[in-house]
Structure formats: C-alpha cells, structure tokens
C-alpha cells in the first residue's frame, strides 16, 4: 500500500510540474507561425499568453519590443512599422523562446464569405494546370477551419504555408487568383502577399457580425429571436446562420492581426432579405473595421453572378437583382469596391467555375485604389469620378470597373441613360444591346430596344409611349451584354424606387 501511495504521489507531482511548465510557457495564437506575412508599413500587433507578470520580448529585423503579461495572462505589443521585405526570423522570448522562420513583411488580405469564396482551386476552371503552376513562394496561405460558437474564441487550428502545387488545391480559388494578380503586378518590386481564408458555404451575413452589434438595432429583432430560439435548442452552437456565430469562431481569433484589407463573396443566402441587406452588409463592414482598429481599411466584394435554374417568373421581379442593388448601395461606404460578375455566372450552377476572372476583377479595384498603378487617363465622360465619400483623391477607373448608371432623362418617348466609367461603351458580343426593360406609370415592364450613342444608351419601346422607369440586368439570370472598352460589364441597375419583392422580408 505504501509503495502504491508513493507512486501515486509521484505521479501527481509530475502532473503538477508539467502543468506548471506548460502554463508558464509564452505562447501565441495560430495566426502567428512559420511562413507568416506581417503587414508592412504600419505598426504590427503581436499578442499571446504567459504567466501573469511575465516579461515577453519580441525581436525581428533588428527591432525589439517588450511587454508584460497582465493578471489574466494576456500580453500584447506593437512592432514599429517596417517596409516590405524578408525572409526574417521572429523570436518571442519569456521563460521559454519561440522562433518563427521564413517570415515576410508584405500585404495581408482577409478573404471571407460563403461557398463561392470557399470554393477551392481544384474545383475551378482549368484546375490541373492552375495547380501545376501554383509555385509562388512569396504568396502565403492560411485557412481558418469552419467552426461556429455562441461565445467569442481567441484561437483556431491552422498555420501559414507557402503557395505551391501541394498547398493550393484546397485553398479558396477567389482568394488565390486575387492574390496572384496582386503578386504578378509587383514583379518589378516584389511584395509578399498573405491570404487569410475564413469562409463557410451557405453562411448568412449576420453570422459574420458580432451578436452584440446586431442586438442594438430594432430592425434585426427577428434575427436575434431566431438566434435565441436556436441557442435554446442547441446550447453548444454548431450553426452558420445565427448572428455572431462565425464572427466569434472565425473572425475574432484573427483580431487584431495587421491587414491590408478584406475581400468578400457572399449574398446568396440573404437574397430573400435583400432590403435588409442594404443595412446589414454595411454594418458588417463597419463592425470589422471597428474590431480591427485600423480605420477604414479597403473592403472589396463580389456582386452576385447570374444564376437561376428555374427561369424568371415575372419580368422585372427578382430577389437576386434586389440583393445586387443592396451590394451596389454599399459602395457608399468609404474605401469599398465591387467586382461585377453578371456576365460570368452559370445559369444552372450557383458555383460558377470561372474564379480566375472573379479574383482578377477584385484585384483591379485594389490595384487602382491601394497600389496606384499607372494607367492611361482618357479625357472622356466617366473616366474620372470624384467620390468624396469614398476617397480623398480622384479615382481613375477607365479600366478597373465597368459602366455604372449615372442619370436618366426622358425625351420624345425615349429614355436617355448616361453612365460613369463608360469609355468605349459597347456590347461584349458585338451584337445589339440586350438586358433593358422599360415601364410606364402602370409599372408593367416590357423588353426594350436599346442603342448606344457615345457614352449614353437610348432605351425605348413602342409598347411604352410614355416611359417612367428603366431597368438593366434586372433578373436572377439576365441576358445582358453592355460593357466598356476594357470588357468590364455594366453594373445592373434600375432608375425607379418602386417597392421590391423582398421589401418586407426580415
């Protein structure tokens, strides 16, 4: 009995000793690992855990900063801003020492949304060739696993890897093609690109917003009621629809990692509540910006592509068109941009495979806005637009976004529409203009004739002698072909504000 007691006591002592050692060790969340990209040209937040009162030292590239762990064991510091470069070794020291190898200073992008962001490279067009050629050691990848929780999390299971044929197949296609475009544009002055992929197919917009924020607004009472009912039945969480769940598990653990900006592809799940999305989506962007504490960082998103396996029911009625309109309205937020994809969807597949062009169009916004790539500025209507609520300087977009509706006048029974970003206005198939419908005061839409004249389009129909409203590409799966000389498609729009089919849905 004495021998057994002694062995038991030794085991307990050993267990306590091991527990103490583990607790004493300095540690960092998974977003810090070998191969990571730290955001250049801005103070760099570094944080983790240690024993209360433990002194922690972080060193990289000749710079050293120190912190002391608080009573709850958390510590944080900021490295001074550093230019693009690397690879470096970063050392974190306390009672133990951690070394991170192959660390780069570059640009970090958060890539999020639902299934069209989640869709992998191996599921996209020409996947075998794309994977074979994915040898980009200065593009770094990390994926946040799909997890939902009712309470905020501070870590996840993952690590940074260099982009290669071995690491790219299951990574987000949109994120990769976006990052690759940015990388290739910087070949003369290399900048490492870090891509943080955090998405979940079928997820709603509200699940990516902190539930505490959603709860502040009366318009979202039903969202919070659904959350409460779900939580009562499922105390452990396990859902990608409820307010805050994915923010808690897939965004919160990233905060406040230094980033350049974010790209987003989501909206299909919220299409039935498109009017609500007008405020919900901007709220999500603002919530992220406030949570990161980096001001109005760039946020670029994809407008829903064309899709409808069942065909449109009533001409001029479309929940997806209303969701696209809500996305367009979000451009009113500072430092946002939208990739229009109405021409590259798939009528029968909600997951179109041409993710190369989606990523490229997102990157065009960033190249124009964040990297100030040199472009030819033409002295033509629509080539230069001053948007005071978006940027403090002129934005030159002749080859970075497609035509966007500006104004309408009615003359002699015809609607004359003018556009921004419309240099070389044309059709993408060299055929007659398609996609326009027109209505009179009775609000009954009919297909319209449309003719391009310079940077305007003249729309009419003998069935509507006194037109009041015009809509373009206003369908789930429209046939439309208007574009500019860069072959970037015109953004779907309507000139009226008549109530839509989703106006009462919450």
The C-alpha atoms of residue 331 and residue 18 are separated, in whole angstroms, by 54
Q: Decide: helix, strand or coil at residue 21.
A: helix
Residue 204 has pLDDT above 70, yes or no: yes
CA distance 58 to 150: 33
Half-sphere exposure of 43 (CA within 13 A, CB side): 10
Q: What percent of the chain has pLDDT over 70?
A: 90
pLDDT of residue 311 exceeding 90, the answer is no
3-state helix, strand, coil in the chain (%, to 5): 25, 25, 45
Tell whether the model's pLDDT for residue 166 goes beyond 80.
yes
Contact partners, residue 371, CB within 8 Å, separation at least 6: 182, 185, 186
More confident residue, 143 or 391: 143
Report CA torsion sign: 458, 463, 464, 470: negative
pLDDT over 60 at 450, yes or no? yes
Got the DSSP string for 435-491?
Answer: -EEEE-TT---EE-EEEEETTEEEEE-TT-SS--EEEES-SSS----EE-TT-PBPP
Tens-digit pLDDT profile for residues 470-497: 999 999 999 999 999 999 999 999 999 9
pLDDT, tens digit (0-9, with 9 covering 90-100), for 251-296: 999 999 999 999 999 999 999 999 999 999 999 999 999 999 999 9
- Please state the length of the chain: 506
**Predicted pLDDT at 237:** 76
User: What is the reported pTM?
Assistant: 0.91
* Residue that has been written with the tokens 């990289």 in this structure: 60
Q: List the structure tokens of 89.
A: 């070794």
Average pLDDT of the segment spanning 144-149: 97
Instruction: Read off the pLDDT of residues 348-400 as tens digits, 9 standing for 90 and up.
Output: 999 999 999 999 999 999 998 898 653 333 222 233 333 333 333 344 445 68
For residue 457, CA distances in Å to 151, 155, 439, 447 come to: 52, 53, 16, 15
Contact 285, 345 (CB under 8 A): no
Q: Given pLDDT bands bounded at 50, 70 and 90, which one contains residue 6?
A: very low
Residue 428 clears pLDDT 80, i.e. is over it: yes
């Amino acid at each position: 009995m004495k021998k057994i007691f002694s062995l038991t006591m030794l085991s307990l002592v050993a267990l306590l000793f091991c527990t103490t050692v583990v607790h004493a060790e300095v540690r960092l969340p998974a977003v810090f690992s070998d191969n990571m990209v730290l955001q250049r040209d801005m103070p760099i937040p570094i944080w983790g855990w240690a024993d209360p009162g433990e002194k922690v030292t972080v060193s990289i590239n000749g710079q050293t900063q120190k912190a002391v762990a608080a009573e709850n064991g958390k510590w944080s510091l900021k490295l001074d801003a550093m230019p693009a470069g690397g690879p470096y070794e970063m050392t974190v020291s306390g009672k133990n020492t951690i070394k991170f190898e192959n660390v780069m200073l570059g640009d970090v992008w958060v890539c999020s949304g639902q299934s069209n962001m989640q869709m992998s490279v191996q599921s996209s067009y020409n996947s075998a060739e794309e994977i074979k050629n994915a040898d980009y050691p200065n593009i770094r990848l990390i994926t946040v696993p799909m997890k939902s929780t009712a309470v905020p999390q501070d870590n996840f299971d993952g690590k940074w890897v260099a982009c290669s044929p071995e690491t790219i197949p299951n990574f987000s296609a949109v994120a990769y093609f976006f990052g690759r475009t940015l990388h290739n544009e910087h070949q003369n002055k290399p900048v490492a690109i870090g891509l943080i992929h955090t998405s979940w197919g079928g997820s709603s917009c509200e699940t990516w917003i902190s539930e505490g924020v959603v709860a502040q607004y009366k318009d979202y009472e039903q969202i919070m009621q659904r959350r409460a009912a779900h939580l009562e039945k499922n105390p452990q969480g396990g859902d990608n629809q409820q307010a805050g769940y994915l923010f808690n598990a897939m965004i919160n653990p990233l905060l406040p990692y230094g980033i350049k900006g974010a790209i987003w592809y989501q909206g299909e799940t919220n299409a039935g509540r498109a009017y609500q999305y007008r405020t919900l989506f901007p709220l999500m962007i603002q919530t992220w910006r406030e949570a990161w504490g980096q001001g109005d960082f760039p946020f670029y998103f994809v407008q829903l592509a064309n899709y409808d396996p069942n065909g449109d029911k009533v001409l001029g009625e479309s929940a997806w068109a209303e969701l696209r309109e809500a996305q367009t309205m979000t451009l009113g937020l500072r430092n946002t941009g939208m990739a229009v994809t109405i021409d590259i969807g798939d009528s029968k597949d909600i997951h179109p495979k041409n993710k190369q062009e989606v990523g490229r169009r997102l990157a065009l916004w960033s190249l124009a806005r964040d990297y100030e790539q040199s472009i030819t500025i033409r002295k033509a209507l629509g080539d230069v637009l001053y948007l005071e609520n978006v940027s403090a300087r002129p934005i030159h977009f002749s080859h970075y976004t497609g035509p966007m509706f500006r104004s309408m006048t009615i003359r002699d029974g015809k609607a004359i529409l003018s556009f921004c970003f419309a240099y070389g206005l044309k059709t993408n198939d060299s055929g007659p203009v398609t996609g326009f419908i027109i209505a009179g005061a009775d609000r009954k839409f009919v297909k319209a004739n449309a003719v391009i004249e310079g940077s305007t389009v003249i729309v009419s129909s003998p069935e509507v002698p006194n037109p009041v409203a015009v809509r373009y590409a206003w369908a789930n799966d429209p046939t439309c072909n208007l574009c500019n000389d860069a072959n970037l498609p015109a953004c779907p729009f309507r000139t009226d504000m008549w109530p839509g089919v989703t106006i009462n849905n919450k």
